[in-house]
Amino acid sequence: MTEQVSHCNPSLSDANFALSCEKVLSELTRPDQSTIDEILKHDTHDKPEIILPDGRKFVWYFAIGSMINPISLYLRNIIPLISYPAKCRNHKIVFREPNGMADIEGYPEGEFHGVVHLLSDEQMSRLDAMEPTYHRIVVNSINYQEQTHLVYIYKMNIENQPTCLPRERYLDIITKGCEYYKVQPEYINRLKYEQAVIPRRQPHTFQSFTNIPEDVFYSVEELTRHNGNDPTLPLWLSINGKILEHSGLPPVDHPEYEFQKRIYTFAISRLGGREVTQIMAKVFYEPLYVIPSNDKDLCEQHRAHIEDDLYCRINNDQNKSYWKPIGRLRVSDSSL
């Protein structure tokens, strides 16, 4: 029996991606062309950086993953001065475990396409901090006028990490970005019709936190106090009004300590002591839904999708013993 192969279907999210672009990108304030022209006067194709006489630095960055997408850039407060489609020869894109994220590897006859952004040094440094499993390397890019330029690109820290299929959501984000920045249609079609994916979970398969203690409610103030800053209080977060408590990190010599510490640090910095549904809608952007401006913008299916996403992350083999539901956020204290 032949195993069925799934491919990305970007058309399902076309309308809402367009609405998200219309909603958020019109708000951006970009540098005027004269400022950009002044910066480019100091550019040379054999360096991935531009250093101005006053010491300011700008960086050419070749995006291959979610940073191709303008909404993903916006959600990370990354506003490129310039963006254009480009290709890189003698390399290929691969997707690696554990989550099917994009990586590059040398391949003599290979070629991949993406989007080159010109970023401020401050923006690039922030992006570095957001990509702890990657490091920058320099490659030669070629624009569609066949002009070359050295650029930075991210490569995974762990060599020869096993490959795996990307998730449909992730490939949709990449494909949408390629279309937005007018990457070569033939390459986009390869992503759509040749790259196999792990398909999106359908709404009828969504899971949720159901074992919530009855008649146990907490205020927003109580939730906020459990933001991870007070070591005497356990870390809490709320998803769709359901409050989850973290049991604490394992001992330092435990084999899961470093992994759990990274998750815990992320939870404190982005989710701790908060109602996280809207936050997660942005952190784990799903093009199927319009980016919400507030909690009221979240439709029921989007809420269910976000809770399912968190449920799956928390209830996998590595994390399921660290979180438990303890009650609900008082309805009068929230918009839920």
DSSP string, 205-274: G------PPTT-EE-HHHHHHTSSSSTTS--EEEETTEEEEE--PPPTTSTTHHHHHHHHHHHHHHTTTS
| Among 266, 196, 210, 273, residue whose Cα is nearest residue 242 | 210
Q: What is the pTM of this model?
A: 0.88
CATH of the domain spanning 203-333? 3.10.120.10
161 vs 168, residue with greater confidence: 168
Question: What is the distance between the terminal CA atoms of the chain, rounded to a whole angstrom?
Answer: 47
Q: Give the Cα separation of 263 and 243 in Å (integer).
A: 18
Of residues 259 and 58, the one with the higher pLDDT is 58
Q: Which range in 62-76, 258-272, 312-326 is most confidently predicted, on average pLDDT? A: 62-76
Indicate if the pLDDT at residue 255 is higher than 80: yes
pLDDT surpasses 60 at 1: no
Quote the pLDDT of residue 2: 46
Topology adopted by domain 10-193: Hypothetical upf0131 protein ytfp (3.10.490)
Q: What residue ranges of the chain are covered by domains with CATH 3.10.490.10?
A: 10-193
Peptide bond into 98 cis (omega under 30): yes
Q: Predicted confidence band at 318 (pLDDT cuts at 50, 70, 90)?
A: low
One DSSP character per residue, 316-336 reads STTTTTTEEEEEEE-GGGS--
Which residue ranges does the chain devote to CATH 3.10.120.10?
Answer: 203-333
Whether the predicted pLDDT of 70 surpasses 60:
yes
Q: At what angle do helices 168-180 and 185-193 cross, to 10 degrees?
A: 170
Confidence check: pLDDT of 28 > 90? no
State yes or no: pLDDT of 248 exceeds 60: yes
